[in-house]
Amino acid sequence: MVVSDVPPDPNVEFTDLLTSPSNHLRFLNPSKEALETYFDTALEKPNDVAQLNILATDSNLKSLFEKFKIRSAAADLADRSLIEIQSLRSEYHDSYVLAEDCLIVLAGPESHIGKIPAVEEPFLNSLNSVYDSLYQDSEKYTFDAPPISKVKQSLSDQVSPEATSEFSTLISADLYLPKTTDVITLALLAGSRANALFSDISSWGESMGFATAPTFSRRRKNLEREGIIETRALESKMGRPQSELNIKEPEQQFSAEELLSRVA
């Protein structure tokens, strides 16, 4: 038997396996679509997902984690020891997911689940052995984003709950757009939609390790030149006036998706 010979089981759905906390799944070189299915599920049901080990090519992982929402969600799950991701040192052509009693065959954008009969237990064991061998020769994949739960909590504490809500809306909108928006821009747009102080947003972003205050300032000026945002000086009883971020007219009428699409 080879992987492609495993017949599909119409009574089992891929998402059923992903939403069972008792499952421990092993992904080998999965497609971007298969990995996105897991993270979409994890984002919707963060307390009701299977534990995962993932082996994938570096190019596949970089493509998947291009979006901030996915990177930060993965960091959150890794922080909770729900996932462990390793980068394959070389290309590997077989692509599947192993569970305790079934094999998910990944064929291009489509997947099917095949039940492994008892007589084929040696076949399942051999696939696990291959996985173990590749895992030992792989490298740990590190995330360049903090866990999303910490991001949202700190944003709420340091800026405002309104800014957190706007940030959540924007990173969700960014997930489904072909062009990726960097986290600095997302933070500034969220602050502008919530009428936050620029100093609060830049200070928060710096504390999260996203960028320095001068970098936030340069990006703010770019967005102002593009006519997306503007700043309003607020008088202060102590020290210099504060700068409040605002979405510029007529950009206020646009949805999150439309606003991101207008950013250069």
Q: Where are the domains of the chain?
A: 3-140, 148-262
Angstrom distance (rounded) from CA 163 to CA 156: 7
pLDDT in tens, 191-233: 999 999 999 999 999 999 999 999 999 999 999 999 999 999 9
Q: At residue 182, does pLDDT exceed 90?
A: yes
User: How many CB atoms within 10 Å of residue 176?
Assistant: 9
Q: What is the mean pLDDT of the chain?
A: 84
Please give the span between the terminal C-alpha atoms of the chain, in angstroms, as a whole number.
52
- Angle 142-148-152 (CA atoms, 0-180°, nearest 5)? 145
Q: Please report, rounded to a whole number, the percentage of residues in the chain having pLDDT higher than 70.
A: 86
The pLDDT score that the predictor gives to residue 111 is 52
Contacts of 4 (CB under 8 A, 6+ apart): 105, 107
**Per the omega criterion (within 30 degrees of 0), is the bond before 250 cis?**
yes
Contacts of 134 (CB under 8 A, 6+ apart): 28, 55, 88, 92
Q: Which of 95-109, 132-146, 185-199 has the lowest mean pLDDT?
A: 95-109
Place of tokens 């102590």: 238
CATH code linked to domain 148-262: 1.10.10.10
The pLDDT score that the predictor gives to residue 256 is 94
Angstrom distance (rounded) from CA 159 to CA 197: 8
Contacts of 106 (CB under 8 A, 6+ apart): 30, 31, 34, 95, 96, 97
Please tell me the pTM assigned to this model: 0.82
3-140 shares its CATH topology with 148-262: no
Q: What is the DSSP string of 83-130?
A: EEEEEESS-----EEE-SSEEEEEETTEEEEEE--GGGHHHHHHHHHH
CATH code linked to domain 3-140: 3.30.870.10
Q: What is the DSSP string of 145-184?
A: S--HHHHHHHHHHHT-HHHHHHHHHHHHHHHTSSSPPPHH
Angstrom distance (rounded) from CA 195 to CA 173: 20
Distances 205 to 51, 128, 181, 191 between C-alpha atoms, Å: 31, 42, 15, 11
> Which stretch of DSSP H or E encloses residue 247?
strand 242-247
